[in-house]
Amino acid sequence: MNMFNQVKREIGVNFNEAKNAEIRFWAPEADRVDIQTAQKLLPLEKKDLGYWELQSDALQPGSTYNFLLNGETLIPDPASLRQPEGVHGVSEAVDLKAFVWTDQAWKNPALGSYVLYELHAGTFSPEGTFEGVIGKLDYLLDLGITAIELMPVAQFPGERNWGYDGVFPFAVQNSYGGAAGLQKLVNACHEKGLAVVLDVVYNHMGPEGNYFGQAGPYFTEKYHTPWGSAINFDDAWSDGVRRYFIENVLMWFRDFHLDALRLDAVHAIKDLGVKHVLQEISQEVDLLMEATRRNYYLIAECDLNDNKYINPLTQHGYGMDAQWIDEFHHALRVTAGEPTTGYYSDFTGIKHLEKAYRDGYIYDGIYSPHRLKTFGGKAEGNTGSQFVVFSQNHDQVGNRMLGERSSELLSYEMQKLMAGAVLCSPFLPMLFMGEEWGETHPFLFFTSHGDPELVKAVREGRKAEFAAFHAEGEAPDPQSEDTFNRSRLQWDLLEEEGHQQLLSFYKTMIGLRKQYGPLNNTERSQLTVSADAATNCLVLKRWEDGVQVLCLMNFSKKTQDITIPDDKPYWRKILDSADPKWKGPHAAPASIDALQSLEIQPQSILIYTNKYA
């Protein structure tokens, strides 16, 4: 029996076994609701809690429709599964169960084994589609990736957007390949042994094509966010809004077979109810896992350094399985030479990087000069698999005025060192598409809005945001197609000198993480770390079952001497980023003795072990 068929989507237009449409629309303040198809206008029956329902054979998969409220307001379906004409057009009925899955043998691996690769479907491949991503899966497997993470794919205006302006959370972007295209991509990933994570946005809606306010009280004036009125998770009529987003979570897991969701900026979700909406989502996902007998993960982006988000429900936490942690990135970038301006001003460099390796959170109840207050709490009892770390991601690259990647900001040697610093951590490592070969194209902020006033506002806002950077030139026009095209990956760089060696280094580094238990282990207690601010060097030692791994990092621009720990008689080298085979300046000794003073090359990482795996 297919356990997926025992549960189904409860809102929008869906199809039962008899292929009749089951229509359920939430509009608690409407007096009348009709569904308008190309041929008919059909009234819905009012039910409890603001829902309107109808079962009809007038809609079939592929039928287009709108909802008519009170006989005068015509809007697309907020729970639409497809917008063939974009955000202002008609909705299209889709039978999500029509796709033939072949991933029955797939088993979502333990979260601790994830090596993540964040990508944007529109710029990752030449095609800019899900089909284009499928064409690169063998490359990702060869690299050593175990899970791809897609930036948001909910329908947005036009064909060019990061995805955070989505206004149809259930509809997969038509220009990427729609629902069937995403199902095909997930199925292909599972057949090759790759997990799939999807970035979803539940803290705000995009501005263009946003018809939620006309459908019902999806927003509240109780709170305000950077994007305007907050989504209504705890005000009058909030039950229907909460159910809407819970249904969205369940759909991605049940109907698209996704393995994990990354929930964008959960700190911006305003909910002061007794049960936070994240807790309710976690409970519902637990029930779905019982029904489908598959594991699913919830990964939150959260900048509050509050482990209640990632603590289990049994400990009165919110039940998220993991979180993105920007502080590791910030400490790493400052250690690598990033100017201490803006939010980087809170980070001292290598001593904070040392603390990040040890404690997860850097600001864990200490004073934050940038925030002018004591900030954060301790991550006690949380394993390393609950934290996702990176040296760059879409935000940290794309929110720069010129969208420069590490390849444009840092030396070749430093790029290898930062990769090693991430992949040697006891956390979940994530790469941002193209970093592994030193992609030189920027990743810029781009849009394709259709509203001229909105286009003007976005352009002016972007210029104002970077007014202090006028010496660096003009902020690129987000609306320009050239801005989008400049953000595409250059796959031909893989054939060029330097890029080939960097890719080889990444493959080797990922391979070592998988091969050696101490590197693959996300148990935070099985490590020691010490940093020397004077030399800008860090010594990280990790162990498991008698095997030890010693990671020596020199972030300075000078050759430095490091004294080897004395608890093992000798160490054998398994990685040297300064090796000439990776265009490095000089290889270190193949083996070293305890208490030996070792010379380590500038901006390099050395890894030794007491036992070959």
Tokens of 62: 């592929």
Residue 104 domain-assigned?
no
Q: Compare 214 and 470 and report the one with higher pLDDT.
A: 214
| 599 CB neighbour count, 10 Å cutoff | 12
Q: Is 176 found in the same domain as 45?
A: no
* Residue 6: pLDDT band with limits 50, 70, 90: low
Instruction: Give the model's pLDDT for residue 4.
Output: 52
Q: Is the pLDDT of residue 570 over 90?
A: no
Segment (H or E) for 453: helix 452-465
Q: Return d(Cα 170, Cα 121) in angstroms, integer.
A: 17
The answer to whether 516 and 613 are in contact (CB under 8 A) is yes
Q: Which domain holds residue 392?
A: 113-298+307-320+378-462+489-502
Q: What is the CATH number of the domain that holds 313?
A: 3.20.20.80
Q: Is 434 exposed, middle or buried (0-12, 13-18, 19+ CB in 10 A)?
A: buried
396 is in an annotated binding site: yes
Q: Summarize pLDDT for 235-247 with one digit per residue, the tens.
A: 999 999 999 999 9
Q: Is the pLDDT of residue 479 over 80?
A: yes
326 is in an annotated binding site: yes
Instruction: Give the model's pLDDT for residue 474.
Output: 84
Q: Is the pLDDT of residue 302 over 80?
A: yes
Instruction: Give the model's pLDDT for residue 328.
Output: 98
Task: Name the domain boundary from 41, 66, 98.
Answer: 98
Q: Is 213 found in the same domain as 285?
A: yes
CA nearest 300: which of 162, 196, 197, 431?
Answer: 197
Q: Summarize pLDDT for 118-153 with one digit per residue, the tens.
A: 999 999 999 999 999 999 999 999 999 999 999 999
Please give the average per-residue pLDDT across 77-96, as a whole number.
Answer: 97
Q: Is the pLDDT of residue 15 over 90?
A: yes
Q: In what order do the strands lie in the sheet with 21-26?
A: 12-15, 21-26, 51-56, 45-46
* Alpha carbon 290 to its chain's center: 25
Task: Name the domain boundary from 502, 532, 566.
Answer: 502
Instruction: Give the model's pLDDT for residue 613.
Output: 57
Task: Name the domain boundary from 441, 474, 502.
Answer: 502
Q: What percent of the chain has pLDDT over 70?
A: 98
Q: Return d(Cα 221, Cα 231) in angstroms, integer.
A: 9
Q: Is 173 found in the same domain as 47?
A: no
The answer to whether 458 and 542 are in contact (CB under 8 A) is no
The answer to whether 124 and 136 are in contact (CB under 8 A) is yes
Tell me the pairing of strands 33-37 and 560-563: unpaired
Q: What is the CATH number of the domain that holds 31?
A: 2.60.40.10
* Residue 1: pLDDT band with limits 50, 70, 90: very low
Q: What is the CATH number of the domain that holds 589?
A: 2.60.40.1180
Q: Is the pLDDT of residue 232 over 70?
A: yes
Q: Is the pLDDT of residue 468 over 80?
A: no
Amino acid (one-letter) located at 255: D
CB-based contacts of 368: which residues, under 8 Å, 6+ apart?
346, 374, 375, 376
Instruction: Give the model's pLDDT for residue 7.
Output: 76
Q: What integer best gives the mean pLDDT of the chain?
A: 95
Amino acid (one-letter) located at 391: S
Q: Summarize pLDDT for 45-64 with one digit per residue, the tens.
A: 999 999 999 999 999 999 99
Q: Summarize pLDDT for 508-555 with one digit per residue, the tens.
A: 999 999 999 999 999 999 999 999 999 999 999 999 999 999 999 999
248 is in an annotated binding site: no
Residue 66 domain-assigned?
yes
Q: Is the pLDDT of residue 5 over 80?
A: no
* Residue 66: pLDDT band with limits 50, 70, 90: very high
Q: Is the pLDDT of residue 463 over 90?
A: no
Please give the average per-residue pLDDT across 415-429, as a whole number.
Answer: 98
262 is in an annotated binding site: yes
Q: Is 276 found in the same domain as 424?
A: yes
Residue 337 domain-assigned?
no
The answer to whether 604 and 578 are in contact (CB under 8 A) is yes
Q: Is 43 found in the same domain as 76?
A: yes
* Residue 588: pLDDT band with limits 50, 70, 90: very high
Q: Any idea which of 9-13, 166-170, 377-381, 474-478 has the lowest mean pLDDT?
A: 474-478
Q: Is 273 found in the same domain as 211?
A: yes
Q: Compare 196 and 468 and report the one with higher pLDDT.
A: 196
Q: Is 244 found in the same domain as 313?
A: yes
Q: Specify the number of domains making up the chain.
A: 3
15 is in an annotated binding site: no
Residue 191 domain-assigned?
yes
Residue 335 domain-assigned?
no
Per DSSP, helices labelled H in 293-411 are: 326-335, 350-359, 394-398, 406-409
CA nearest 336: which of 55, 602, 24?
Answer: 602
Residue 471 domain-assigned?
no
* Residue 76: pLDDT band with limits 50, 70, 90: very high
Q: What percent of the chain has pLDDT over 90?
A: 91
395 is in an annotated binding site: yes
398 is in an annotated binding site: yes
Q: Any idea which of 35-39, 112-116, 148-152 has the lowest mean pLDDT?
A: 35-39
Which segments within 113-244 are labelled E, that is strand?
A: 116-119, 147-150, 154-155, 168-172, 195-200, 219-225, 228-231
495 is in an annotated binding site: no
Tell me the pairing of strands 195-200 and 260-263: parallel
* Alpha carbon 237 to its chain's center: 30
Q: Is 253 found in the same domain as 204?
A: yes
55 is in an annotated binding site: no
Name 74's bridge partners: 68
The answer to whether 68 and 41 are in contact (CB under 8 A) is yes
Q: Summarize pLDDT for 344-393 with one digit per residue, the tens.
A: 999 999 999 999 999 999 999 999 999 999 999 999 999 999 999 999 99
Q: Is the pLDDT of residue 168 over 60?
A: yes
Q: Is the pLDDT of residue 567 over 80?
A: no
Q: Is 122 found in the same domain as 48?
A: no
271 is in an annotated binding site: no
What residues are labeled active site?
A: 264, 301
CA nearest 13: which of 4, 24, 26?
Answer: 24
397 is in an annotated binding site: yes
Residue 559 domain-assigned?
yes
CB-based contacts of 398: which residues, under 8 Å, 6+ apart?
162, 443, 444, 445
Alpha-carbon Rg for the chain, nearest whole angstrom, is 25
Name 606's bridge partners: 552, 576
Instruction: Give the model's pLDDT for residue 528.
Output: 96
Please give the average per-residue pLDDT across 7-19, as a whole number.
Answer: 93
Residue 354 domain-assigned?
no
190 is in an annotated binding site: no
DSSP string over 243-311: HHHHHHHHHHHHHH--SEEEETTGGG----SSS-HHHHHHHHHHHHHHHHT---EEEEE--S--TTTTS
Instruction: Give the model's pLDDT for residue 462.
Output: 87
Q: Is 547 found in the same domain as 403?
A: no
Instruction: Give the model's pLDDT for residue 471.
Output: 54
Q: Is the pLDDT of residue 343 over 90?
A: no
153 is in an annotated binding site: no
Q: Is 188 found in the same domain as 263?
A: yes
Q: Is 255 found in the same domain as 228?
A: yes
